[in-house]
Every structure is written in structure tokens, then in C-alpha cells.
Structure 1
Amino acid sequence: MACTISEEAEAKISKILTHMDKKPANDFVIVGCGGHVVTPSALYELTLTVFGFNVMVPVLVVPGQSDEMILGSNAIRWLISQIKVSFDETTDCPPQRDIRKDNLPGLMSLLSDSMSCDPGKKPIKVGTAKLKRSVTLQPLTEHLVWAKLPTSDVSLVGCSVIIEPTQSKCRPRQILVGRVVASLYADGCVPVKIVNPTEKPLTLRRNAKVADVSTCVSVHDFTKTECIQSNKQYTKDSVKTPVTDEDMSHILSDIGLQDLDLSSCEVSMEWKNELLQIIRQYEYIFSRHKMDCGDATDFVHRIRLVDDKPFRLPYRRVPPCHYEKLRTALSEMEELGIVRKSQSEYSSPLVLVVKPN
């Protein structure tokens, strides 16, 4: 990125430096955010003083620029190299000028987009992030998903925050959430690193609480550990046989079948344990949520038609009050693989039926 100035700044400089060498910039094109293309109107060779360092750089005049001057990455990289030389005691190359100690914190904050903090200051909890939509986690895999805060403070937008495992009682129990340091966006979305340590796919429901977000006070590097050893032993019969209804409830909750109530069965505890073992053996046949329809992979469904002529029926109108519900249902079904987008020549209208309950 090159250094640029506005037309207002060009007029101010021209009044002071009347003998500036103005060059045409017809061969230059600047592509901004969103792909907006701008052609500079002129090119100057200016000597800038930035935090005590003098540097000569080409400067482009950009029509419509709101800021008087934008320092380009070419000048910023050179400035960083000069700062390293100024504070490197091993080098024999003298810097242009020693940077002032009181200017250094402001420069470092500007370059790293961070601020110095009080060591005794405690981080401020921003809120608990929830999933925007249902997510299916593959077994033994790390995933990076986006979660959203219910409300975000406008003053904290752009600040560094730390995303940690939530302490909420209704959090998912079978996942691991890693700590992540990121910037807080204006829409309240934050990245969350989630690991599925189990050997089966897990589906997290929409609006599930996954992480607590707090302001990041400071970040410290841990000392590098030379070697970490871990010894674990597993035995086939190490699973403790449940003896109470509470133990059964915990096991059913771990496999996602907390809706099953074995305590209401009017049989002995021995037969309850037998039933629990059968449920654990065939747990894949149970539905975890309303969108868990299963997958019949060994069957092929064939629709028999009268002829091979394609038909495309017009769509039926959907009441505006049902638009959001319809989009949510279709998005969840597409994420779970129940439906998919098609380019088929056949088309039938979508019928939306609202259940009374």
C-alpha cells in the first residue's frame, strides 16, 4: 500500500512548498475496500518525519479521500526496521535519530492496535457467546465456528478479547473449547475453537452457549517445556456399573439421550442396568433432536413418472410472518444434510404447514 494524501492536503502543502515537482499518475490505480477503484490525480516525492525518523516516499493524491494523509505499509515497514535498529545494542549501524522514550508506547499501541494496562486491573466480562446456527462436529476433529454475543458494547468494538470455555450450567458437556485471543467485531461475532474428543459426530444446537468472552488485559508467553510425558492405562472393564438412578441419568446425558427416563421403569435395578447397556449398544438409532432424521444409505428411492417430460410448477406465496422461520428451517436442514440445493429441471412448490403446538 502506498502513501496517499487528500486534495485538501495537497492544496495546503502547495501554499507552503511552491516549487513541488508534480508528476502525472495516470499509470496508477488504487483498489480499495469492496473493490472500489480510484485513479490518483498526481504524484509527489515528499520527505516525511514520522516519530523522529525522516523518510522520502512517493505520495499519491487521491480524490475524495476523507483523511488528510494515510501512511502506507512501505513506510510503516521501514519505520519498524529503524525502531529495531535503534534498540538493538549488537548492531554497529547508527540510527538516524534515537526515538524518544515517551513516543514509543504510543507508536507501539498504534502498530499493534493494543493499549498498555494496569497489572491490577481485572478483565471485564463482555458476555456469553452462543452459536448462530446448529453445527455438526466430526469425531476427533478440531473446528473453528462463529458464535455471537447477545449484546455488544459499542466502546469495545475493535478491542482484543479472550474467548474461553463457558461456565454456564447449560453448556454442552462433550466438547472441549480452547482459549482464543481475537478482536471484537461490530456485529458481536467471535471465533470459537471447539474440539470433538469423542469417536462419534456431535451436533450442537442453535443458541447453544459455548464460550465466555472477556476483555484481554495482557498476554504472556509461557516458557517452552522441553518434554512432557504422560502414562495412561485403559482396561476393557474399567467402566463402573451404575447402581443408582442418578448414575444412569449422567450416562444418558453423556451420550445425548437425557430425555430418556429409566428411573420411571417399575423394574429392579438389575434390569434397569441391562436396559441401559442395550441403549448404549444401539444408541445410534435414537434421535438427538428434531432435525436428526437419520440416513438410510442402503436404499435407493425411485419416483416413477408417467413420462420423461420435465415439469416446473410455480411457487406458492408464503406469508411474510413465516419468512424468517422458513429460512431458519431450510438453513438447519441444509447444514445437517437433509436437503441440498438442486439445479434439476423438475420443480414442485414448497408447502409450509404450521403445527398448532
Structure 2
Amino acid sequence: MESSRFLLVQLIGPHEHAQEARQNMQETESLVGTYGGVVVEKLVQHRIHPHPNTYIGSGKVEEIRLKLKTQKIEVVLINGLVKPSQLFRMERQWWNQNSKIKVWDRLDLILAIFEKHAHSQEAKLQIELARIAHSGPRIYGLGGTVLSGQRGGIGQRGGGGETNIEMERRRMKQQEAAIRRQLAKLESQKQRRILYRQERGFGPVALVGYTSAGKTTLFNALTGKQKETRTKLFTTLDTAVGKMIFEKGQLPVLVADTIGFINHLPVQLVEAFRSTLMEAMAAKLLLHVIDATDRRRQEKSDTVEQILADLKITQPLVRVYTKMDLVSPARDKQIRREAKTARGWCVSATSHLGVTELKRFVASQLISDHN
């Protein structure tokens, strides 16, 4: 199957450094690859503020119009959080060049990735809830993206008139309320499962961290499970729980592998996936998994811990630097100094370097708290 062709657009404000913008674009390009697309063109625009009508302004709209046919672009991706009305106005400008053009922002891309990876009913409901909150007019027919099944509305092709729009708005509100009721029921069931497991073991311990930091590989090393691991972003959407047994006859320590975080994570997504994060909220101890090979590890660590603070997840946190088998001897010393300063641990989940010691530490922390 041929990859979808993306045009990536990055706005740079007056206070944003060029290096930061490049890193944001690289991360978003990785997300496009995870989705199954390929970035064939990149555009950068310097603006003090996004344009209120089209976000990128009429000049860039015209520039992209000329590229749509020559580059056979299928998706124009704005690397930011854009209002649904702005996305629709851009899309409408390009219909004559490509009637099937899709205009997404960063959240649309993440939701599309999530939809591909979601397996449980809970994850699918949370995706739909986030989509309703973000997509607004495009869902009830004012846009022709994958987020809408029809076109219509005032002044649009196949318009259905204001009455139809109001009907769709009511339908969306009813759908949102129904999803929230279903999620509340699933959350109640999950809470009962968490309490049931806690009565039969210590913990739980939750693995948290930036997406693709190596949480699932460490989860497998701690629990002996063989959960699928991939190098792509957002492999884990549904929380998995396993048992860590350190000594024979000891009650097991429950370990939860949770969804990864990412920089500039939209608040709608965090709120929608609150149910998935219940394992982290209920944890007695958080293991913050950090990729030791990542040169941006400090920035990413700060992002993760800020999101946890925003969610009011304040349990004791221990930093665990993974992939130590892949770092150079010089970098190894640097990482170990960082870990010592943070009172963290250095491990390799693939070679099991330091894993036994980490297990012993986790068990001692939970058993002492239990006593």
C-alpha cells in the first residue's frame, strides 16, 4: 500500500528558537512515519501570530495551492494546534486543486495514529471523545477530512442549511454525553479491578515516560511478559498490567505499562485519556523511564513530569535510565552522574543490566510502605 504524501507546515513565532522548531518538525515527521505517511515537502513560516482566518495567511495558502498538484499532496499538516474553522477554511481554498485534500493539525495526526493502534473499547471511546472536542464543525459536515463522513452546511458543497447544522450540533452533544457515560462505566469497572489486584499484591508500580522511551521493553524485563515492542511512537495505548516476582513466596509486585507522553500534548487528549491513566493515578510508585541515548532526554523528562503535575499525579517518582547498553563509555559516565544526582537507576532492559537491582529496590520500597 502506497504511503500518504504529506506537506508539513511549521509556524515559527518571534520568541521561538530555530533549533526548537527543527526538533518539533523532526518529531512530527516521525509521527507521520508512524501513521504510515511520508513527508514530501516542508514549509516554514515566520509570523508574530497565526492568521485569524486561515492560520497561515493568504500568501502561504496560495504557495501551497501551487504545490498540491505538482507534489501530489494528499495531506497538508499544520504542526500546531489549529482551530477547526481555520482548518476548514484552508481546506476549502484548495478544493479546486484536490477535492479530496485533507488538512490536519498535530492533534488530528495523533488521533489518526491512536485510531490505528487502539484495541480496547475504552481506547476507542477516548479517541472519539477527543475527536469530538477538537474537530467541531468538520464532524458535522463543514470539512472533508477523515473526521467527517459528509459535506454540507451553509455555503458549502452539498449544503444542508442551518437547520441541519443545528441538528448535527445536538447530535454531537448527545453522542459526547453517551460516550462519557460509557467511559464512566468502564472507569468504575477498572477501579474495581485495581482494588482487586491491590488486595493480592504490592503496588501497583506504573511505568511512565516519553513515547518510545523503552517503557514496554522494561515492562517485559520486570514481569517476564512478551508484550509487543516497536520503535515507532505510541505503540502502547491500552494499559497492560503484569506481576513482578522477586523472591519465592513473596506477594507479587504489580507493574503497569502506560501510554507515552509527547511534547505539546494537547489538553483535549490528556483529558480524554484520563481513564487510561488511572493506573498511574493509583500507583504507589512511578518509574519514569528515560532513554539514555536521547540527547533531548532532559527536555523530554521535564515534559513528562510537567504533564504528571498537571494531572495532579504526585506519587513518589524514580527516574530509570534505559538502553545503557547502547551508550558510549564517555556518555555512560555522564548518564550515571545524572542518575546519581536524581537518585535514579541505570539499566538495560534488553541485556538485563541492572534489572535485578531495580527489582530489589522497587520491592523494598513497596514492602516498607506496606509495613
Q: Normalization by structure 2: what TM-score?
A: 0.22
Per residue, is there more helix in 1 or in 2? Answer: 2
Q: Normalization by structure 1: what TM-score?
A: 0.23
Larger radius of gyration between Structure 1 and Structure 2: 1
Per residue, is there more strand in 1 or in 2? Answer: 1
